[in-house]
Structures are given as C-alpha cells and as structure tokens.
C-alpha cells in the first residue's frame, strides 16, 4: 500500500494506472480517509483491476512531494500513460475515490 518514490516513478514511466494518496502522519483528515482509501484499494486488488492505489508519506518523501507540487494534504493524484491526469485536494469519500478509479478506467 505504501509506495516509495522510486517505485512510483517506475510505475508512472511504465504508464501504469496509479492513484496515490499523499498524506502526513500529523494530518487529521488524512487519518480519517486512510481506512476508506485502503478498503477501496483492497477491493480493486481482489477484482484484478488495472488501477492500483498507494499511499505516500510526504514527510518521508519531501523532495518528491515538492516535485509533484504537493502543498496540502491529503492530496490524491491519478496517473495514467505516464502523466498526472487528475489531482484532488482534501478528504475524499469512498464514492469519490471510486469515481477516480472509474475515470482512469474510462480515460
């Protein structure tokens, strides 16, 4: 579930469909959203979806987070075909996270 900046760069370069929740351990909304994000991720893995969900702690990946333009947490970025296709800031519901995955599948 937690992804390193090296592995994420590799997945982006490979054109994988990836959604990343950039969070911080001190962030209240991040803590509230994390179980929901993990549940959606588990359901996607169980259904063999081509969309993969990961989390990245911005405190442990400050340089990469800065490169990605992360200025607030939580921030969710969707990647497909090597590019950032969608960025949403703030806490997201299960329905909103599912919508992000559908956008990648249909895009």
Q: How many domains does the chain have?
A: 1
Q: pTM for the complete prediction?
A: 0.96
Rounded CA-CA distance 27/34 in Å is: 11
Question: Containing domain of residue 78, as a range?
Answer: 5-106
Q: Which of 3, 30, 65, 68 is catalytic?
A: 30
Give the pairing type, strands 17-23 and 83-89: unpaired
Average pLDDT of the chain, as a whole number = 96
Rg (CA), the chain: 13
Annotated active-site residue 30? The verdict is yes
Mean pLDDT for 30-56 is: 96
pLDDT digits (tens, 9 = 90+) for 66-89: 999 999 999 999 999 999 999 999
**pLDDT value at 43 more than 80:** yes
pLDDT for residue 107 is more than 90: no
Of the residues 12, 20, 27, 104, which is catalytic?
Answer: 27
Instruction: Report yes or no: 21 and 74 within 8 Å, Cβ to Cβ.
Output: yes
CATH code of the domain in which 15 resides: 3.40.30.10
């Amino acid at each position: 579930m937690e992804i390193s900046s090296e592995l994420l760069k590799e997945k982006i370069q490979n054109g994988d469909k990836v959604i990343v929740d950039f969070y911080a351990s001190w962030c209240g909304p991040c803590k509230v959203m994390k179980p929901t994000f993990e549940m959606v991720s588990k359901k996607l893995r169980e259904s063999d979806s081509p969309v993969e969900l990961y989390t990245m702690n911005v405190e442990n990946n400050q340089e990469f987070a800065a490169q990605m333009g992360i200025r607030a947490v939580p921030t969710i970025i969707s990647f497909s075909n090597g590019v950032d296709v969608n960025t949403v800031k703030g806490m997201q519901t299960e329905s909103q996270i599912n919508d992000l995955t559908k956008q990648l599948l249909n895009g």
